[in-house]
Amino acid sequence: MRQPVSTQVALLVGVAGASAVLLGAFGAHALRGVLDAHQHELWHTAVDYHVWHALALALAAGLGRGRSRRVALVAFALGIVLFSGSLYALALGAPRWTGIITPLGGLAFVTGWIALGLSLRSRAE
């Protein structure tokens, strides 16, 4: 049986997806000619991970169950903020030490995927 999605979770999924699209368009159009090749690559990587993990949020919201579902939702959201957020900041000229944050976001993504897998497994039992 499908677990209902709260308004907060639905809003989180919507904002994550919409912001990924908006930031992708912003990078492709408004930042064209402003960013150098390395900065553009950072921006593109940030958008890619942002989009994929916005979709992962939707998957966790719609299919996940129990505590693992909540862990997955929090971890994916945190990963988007830390991983993609730090890459967006670096692309826009933030200090290099900002890159220290990026692997923490990557760990959050890994945690989210493990939690999502566990939450899907608990559906079958």
State the pLDDT at residue 5. 85
pTM attached to this predicted model:
0.93
What is the predicted pLDDT for the residue at 30? 95
Average pLDDT, the chain: 94
Confidence (pLDDT) at 123 = 53
- pLDDT tens profile 79-122: 999 999 999 999 999 999 999 999 999 999 999 999 999 998 85
* pLDDT at residue 3 in the model: 65
Q: Where are the domains of the chain?
A: 7-124
Residues 43 and 24: their CA atoms lie apart, in Å, by 8
Structure tokens at 92: 């826009």
Query: What is the b/e burial string over 82-114, where b = at least 16 CB atoms within 10 angstroms of the residue's CB?
Result: bbbbbbbbbbeeeeeebeebbeebeebbebbbe
Closest of 95, 101, 103, 84 to residue 42, by C-alpha: 84
CB atoms within 10 A of CB 76: 30
